[in-house]
Amino acid sequence: MGEIMEKILASAVEEKNEKEYDVLIIGGGIAGEEAALDLAEMGFKVLLVEKEPSIGGHMFLLSKVFPTLDCASCISTPRMAAVAHHPNITLMTYSEVKEIEKRGEGDFRVKILKKPRFVEESLCTGCAQCESACPVIVPKEYDFGLRGRKAAYIPFDTAVPKIAVIDIDHCIFCGQCEIACPVGAINFLQKPKIIKVKVGAIIIATGYKLFPIGRKKEYMFGKLANVITSMQMDRLLAPTRPYNAVLRPFDGKEPMNIAFVLCAGSRDRTVGNPLCSQVCCMYSIKQAQLLMGALPLADITIYYMDIRAFGKGFEEFYQQAKDMGVIFIKGRVAKIEPAENGDVVVYYEDIENGGRLKKAVHDLVVLSVGLLPNPDIAKAFKNVKLELDEYGWIKPKDENTNPVETSIPGVFAAGCIVGPKDIPDTVVEAAAAAAHVAAYLKEVRG
Amino acid sequence: MGAKGTRKRKLTVHILRDRLGLKPSKELIETLKKQNEIKNKIFKAIKDEAKTVPEIAKETGLDTTTVFWYLMTFYRHGLVEEVGKTDEGYFKYKLKR
């Protein structure tokens, strides 16, 4: 957030009326959506709060899911629409939970900051004429900087809600968006609000952050255009991709010799993240298989320490990648250096061939980045403490018998905020959290 | 301009700007100037003939990474179209009419 938005948010006024819901769900990714739908179907009134302008989390950004290779956005987009249209779910996007006070069992008082989009939600039709008129281009967050967006923009084609937002910190106050809007929806006088709610229970589903791989300086991310992250590769493979095909950012050429570097920013004490991120092996194998389909003549190499194919169908998925011709090399990549014409040299320890240091040239390198906790919400609890583990993930009350209950009775957690996990496990945990909320509310309300 | 006898409505963006004394940073203005220059150069290069990223870079004096980033931004905004591919694996792009 920039200086101008901060200045505007400082003028937020607290609303007098307090609204009441049965459950507050924080985070509109797949975990939050699933929990919201389960609880809403049981008849509970749910408030779902998402800090971004659209719900969807990380899942809708992915190409396909492993090991079934089902289309990720085909699964997540109907869920997003169902959440938005369910009569028992109230959706607040572009909003942040700032304060949570527990007054008793089944009684939480919450303050939520609703940030101004500078667009009237009830008027905007998502036509994107503001976007066409805006002259300012900035890197697009949803494509992880692979291309630009405007300062007035629709977050992405399948955003829910599909409402424009003005990035006030990159606005030059030219008014072109306001002039172009055919329905008069642009309103720069929209003010931030603090909304007060009373809820009976809370589910935290704020997910994870991607490891900032720029911290691993030897991998040259941000310095070499053809060193990208796995999330960027997933975007390149997705139907809503930023380019017209899978191409190298350096010069728009089709890559023919692609390398994956596993455990980039996980299982690595030198960067402060010793944990395995659990999903990197499988999403890299997924991407390798998809690349074999998109670029049949390309060579795909995966540099790995161990392949952790532990879930149902995972080992078969791994073997399938080998059968398709993906090359697996056991060895940690030590460093990456530039070569000619945007190519990249990878230095690695070839463990299965005597542990010698070797190097190989690739025309695109994908860093399979790990996951980090996203525990900012812990600061919002005022008179009760949300326990985190030593790495910052939410510490369940009992890892084995009660993995979704937190240290605070009435506050539950689901998905990657508890620890790295894949989508099916996240959905199961969301359903478990919803069931626990229902049981808790029945108990405290009698 | 509004109907005869009515005053032109002041845009809300200008009311906010004046009320809070907001102005875009110098860096943002410089970036925007540079962006316009890049846009004009790329559009001029592909106005009449479809070209690859290295060809556009050579003609405009920009680096290939910059050309490709802006080209894809314009492509996704519907201003540029792809027209075939070379044997070297480069797409050719042209300005949409």
Q: Contact A221/A383 with Cβ under 8 angstroms?
A: no
The reply to whether B11 touches chain A by the CB within 8 Å rule is: yes
CATH number at residue B42: 1.10.10.10
Quick one: average pLDDT of A270-285? 94
Quick one: average pLDDT of B59-67? 98
Tell me the DSSP string of A54-96: SS-TTGGGSSB-TTT--BHHHHHHHHHHHHHH-TTEEEE-SEE
Q: Tokens for A52?
A: 């971004």
Q: Which residues span the domain enclosing B32?
A: 27-95
The reply to whether A347 touches chain B by the CB within 8 Å rule is: no
Instruction: List pLDDT tens digits, range A122-141.
Output: 999 999 999 999 999 999 99
Decide if A3-115+191-207+374-445 and A211-371 have a common fold: yes
Q: Tokens for A396?
A: 């369940």
The reply to whether A147 touches chain B by the CB within 8 Å rule is: yes
Instruction: List pLDDT tens digits, range A390-423.
Output: 999 999 998 888 899 999 999 999 999 999 999 9
ipTM: 0.94
The reply to whether A188 touches chain B by the CB within 8 Å rule is: yes
Instruction: List pLDDT tens digits, range A62-117.
Output: 999 999 999 999 999 999 999 999 999 999 999 999 999 999 999 999 999 999 99
Interface of A with B in 189-208 (CB under 8 A): 189
Q: Give yes or no for residue B1 having a pLDDT over 50.
A: no
CATH of domain A117-189: 3.30.70.20
Q: Within a domain: residue B21?
A: no
Quote helix, strand, coil % in chain A, to nearest 5. 30, 30, 40
Query: Could you tell me the pLDDT band of residue B85, with boundaries at 50, 70 and 90?
Result: very high
* pLDDT reported for residue B97: 81
Q: Within a domain: residue B36?
A: yes
- Per CATH, domain A3-115+191-207+374-445 is 3.40.50.150: no
Q: Give yes or no for residue A181 having a pLDDT over 60.
A: yes
Quick one: average pLDDT of A45-61? 96
Q: Is B61 left (phi over 0), alpha (psi -120 to 50) or beta?
A: left
The reply to whether B29 touches chain A by the CB within 8 Å rule is: yes
* pLDDT reported for residue A446: 82
Overall domain count for chain B:
1
Alpha-carbon distance of A384 to A156, in angstroms, equals 37
Instruction: List pLDDT tens digits, range A363-391.
Output: 999 999 999 998 899 999 999 999 999 99
Q: Give yes or no for residue A193 having a pLDDT over 90.
A: yes
Partner residue facing A251 (CB), from B14, B64, B75: B64
Q: Give yes or no for residue B77 having a pLDDT over 70.
A: yes
Instruction: List pLDDT tens digits, range B43-54.
Output: 999 999 999 999
* pLDDT reported for residue A347: 98
A136/B20 touch (CB, cutoff 8 Å), yes or no: no
3-state secondary structure of A398: strand
Query: Could you tell me the pLDDT band of residue A154, with boundaries at 50, 70 and 90?
Result: very high
Bigger pLDDT: B36 vs A400: B36
Quick one: average pLDDT of A167-182? 97
Look up the CATH superfamily of A211-371. Answer: FAD/NAD(P)-binding domain (3.50.50.60)
- Domain assignments of chain A as residue spans, ordered by start: 3-115+191-207+374-445, 117-189, 211-371
Quick one: average pLDDT of A305-316? 93
First to last CA, chain A: 44
**Interface with A, mutate which of B14, B18, B46, B68 (most A CBs under 10 A):** B68
Interface of B with A in 41-80 (CB under 8 A): 52-54, 57, 64-65, 67-73, 75-77
